[in-house]
């Protein structure tokens, strides 16, 4: 069975600082995708960044980057130069075969002005 | 144009009633999903359809019945509503085949059962 774990229910960061959100996962498959989604108070789910398991290079999207450690089954998200608009719930997600996407329990990120 | 749209966005009803939530996507995707987000924000997959065919059916009470009249629509009907059904229900779609795996979400439908 596939699982996704986020061990930090809540995190806070000072505006302009850097924060890292943790995610670990478990799957027996070799081919899969990993994602970070953001859910602001508006409740819309927004894709932040994706990583294909076969790619060794860590994905980056502007201020967002990941540290993908395939052997350790770890997929952390780093947010640089944090902004007030980054305050949201962040969900780590795993997609394996059969189009099934499962989500971690989420990390609530607060940004302190 | 909204890519994935759900109606209604808010629904308040009494225990025991039957209600439906509709979802439509104009992205041309083959796969559509229903997710339930509970009060603790936990997102759990309920159903997935690929080109009108049910492919994922998680452990969901029989009171929940999805229907996909075509690949652009996936509706969710709930019978005999219970207090525990109160949640936000998200519809999502994704392309299949050589794709990015990304889910495209609707805005969610908040269901409150009194």
Residue (of A23, A25, A49) closest to A36 by Cα position: A49
Q: Is the pLDDT of residue A93 over 70?
A: yes
Residue B70 near residue B93, CB atoms below 8 Å: no
Number of Cβ pairs < 8 A linking chain A and chain B: 57
Of B48, B102, B105, nearest to A50 by CB-CB distance is B102
Residue B95 near residue B85, CB atoms below 8 Å: no
Chain B hits for A108, CB-CB cut-off 8 Å, are 41
The pLDDT value given to residue A98? 67
pLDDT in tens, B79-103: 999 999 999 999 999 987 656 678 9
Q: How many CB atoms lie within 10 A of CB B59?
A: 6
**What whole-number distance in Å separates Cα of residue B97 and Cα of residue B51?**
13
Which helix (H) or strand (E) segment holds residue B12: the answer is strand B10-13
In this predicted model, which residue has the larger pLDDT, B52 or B46? B46
* Binary contact (B45, A102; C-beta < 8 A): yes
SS3 A89: strand
Task: Choose the weakest-confidence range: A58-67, B31-40, B50-59.
Answer: B50-59
Interface residues from chain A to B (CB-CB < 8 Å): 33, 35, 37, 39, 43-45, 47, 50, 52, 89, 91, 93, 95, 98-103, 105-106, 108
* Binary contact (B42, A33; C-beta < 8 A): no
Residue A52 near residue A29, CB atoms below 8 Å: no
Query: How would residue B53 be classed by pLDDT, with cut points 50, 70 and 90?
Result: confident
* Averaged pLDDT, A87-106: 90
Of A52, A101, A105, nearest to B42 by CB-CB distance is A105
Specify the DSSP class assigned to residue B59.
Answer: S
Chain B hits for A99, CB-CB cut-off 8 Å, are 31, 48, 50, 55-56, 94, 96
DSSP bridge partners of B31: B50, B94
* Binary contact (B33, A101; C-beta < 8 A): yes
* Averaged pLDDT, B14-25: 97
Alpha helices in chain B (DSSP H): none
Query: How would residue B51 be classed by pLDDT, with cut points 50, 70 and 90?
Result: confident
Interface residues from chain B to A (CB-CB < 8 Å): 31, 33, 35, 40-45, 48, 50, 55-56, 88, 90, 92, 94, 96, 100-103, 105, 107-108
């Amino acid at each position: 069975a596939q699982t996704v774990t986020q061990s930090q229910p809540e995190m806070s960061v000072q505006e302009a600082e850097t924060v890292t959100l943790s995610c670990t996962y478990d799957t027996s498959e070799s081919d899969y995708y990993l994602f970070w989604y953001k859910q602001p108070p508006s409740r819309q789910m927004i894709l932040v960044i994706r990583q294909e398991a076969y790619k060794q290079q860590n994905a980056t999207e502007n201020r967002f980057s990941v540290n993908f450690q395939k052997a350790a089954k770890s997929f952390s998200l780093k947010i640089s130069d944090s902004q007030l608009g980054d305050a949201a719930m962040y969900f780590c997600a795993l997609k394996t075969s059969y189009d099934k996407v499962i989500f971690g329990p989420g990390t609530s990120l607060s940004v302190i002005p | 144009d909204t890519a994935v749209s759900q109606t209604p966005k808010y629904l308040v009803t009494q225990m025991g009633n039957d209600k439906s939530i509709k979802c439509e996507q104009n992205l041309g995707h083959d796969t559509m999903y229903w997710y339930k987000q509970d009060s603790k924000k936990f997102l759990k997959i309920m159903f997935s359809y690929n080109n009108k065919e049910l492919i994922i059916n998680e452990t969901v009470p029989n009171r929940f019945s999805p229907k996909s009249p075509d690949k652009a629509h996936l509706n969710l009907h709930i019978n005999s509503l219970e207090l525990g059904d109160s949640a936000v229900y998200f519809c999502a779609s994704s392309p299949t085949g050589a794709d990015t795996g990304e889910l495209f979400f609707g805005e969610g439908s908040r269901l409150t059962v009194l």
